Amino acid sequence: MGVIGHFRYRRPAAWTVVLALSFSTLLLAVPPFRAAETLPSQISDEAFWKMIEDFSEDNGYFTSENFSSNERGYQTLIPRLMAKWQAGNAYMGVGPEQNFQYIASLKPKIAFIVDIRRQNMIQHLMYKAAFEMSANRADFLSVVFSRKRPAGLSESSSTDQLFAAYLGANRDAALAETNRKAIKDLLIMDHKFRLTEDDLVTMDHVFDVFAAYGATINYSSNIDGTGQVRGGRGGGNNVNYAELMILSDQNGMNRSYLASEDSFRFMKDLEKKNLLIPVVGNFGGPKAIRAVGQYLKDHGAIVGAFYLSNVEQYLFNPPDRGPRIDRQFYESVGTLPLDESSMFIRSGNGGGGGGGRGGLTPMMSSMMDVVRAFKAGQINSQQDVLSMSTF
Q: What is the pLDDT of residues 80-113, one digit of tens each?
A: 999 999 999 999 999 999 999 999 999 999 999 9
Instruction: Say what the pLDDT of residue 339 is.
Output: 98
Cα(first)–Cα(last) distance of the chain, in Å? 18
CA distance 168 to 148: 11
Q: Which H or E run contains 386?
A: helix 382-386
Contact 304, 89 (CB under 8 A): yes
| Annotated domain spans of the chain | 7-386
CA distance 162 to 149: 10
Contact 341, 86 (CB under 8 A): yes
Contact 106, 91 (CB under 8 A): yes
| Strands 276-280, 229-230: pairing kind | unpaired
Tell me the CA distances in angstroms from 222 to 5, 193, 202, 208, one per residue in order: 15, 27, 13, 10
Contact 67, 219 (CB under 8 A): yes
Instruction: Say what the pLDDT of residue 63 is.
Output: 59
Contact 248, 160 (CB under 8 A): no
The segments of the chain whose pLDDT lies below 70 read 1-36, 62-63, 231-237, 319-321, 350-359
CB atoms within 10 A of CB 186: 17
Instruction: Say what the pLDDT of residue 56 is.
Output: 98
Instruction: Say what the pLDDT of residue 353 is.
Output: 41
Considering only CA atoms, which of 283, 276, 391 is closest in space to residue 330? 283
Instruction: Say what the pLDDT of residue 378 is.
Output: 97
DSSP-H helix ranges across 219-378: 241-245, 261-272, 288-298, 312-316, 326-333, 367-375
DSSP string, 93-138: E-SSTHHHHHHHHH--SEEEEEES-HHHHHHHHHHHHHHHH-SSHH
Each as own residue / partner, the long-range contacts of residues 383-387 (CB below 8 Å, 24 or more positions apart, any chain) are 385/312, 385/344, 385/346, 386/346, 386/348
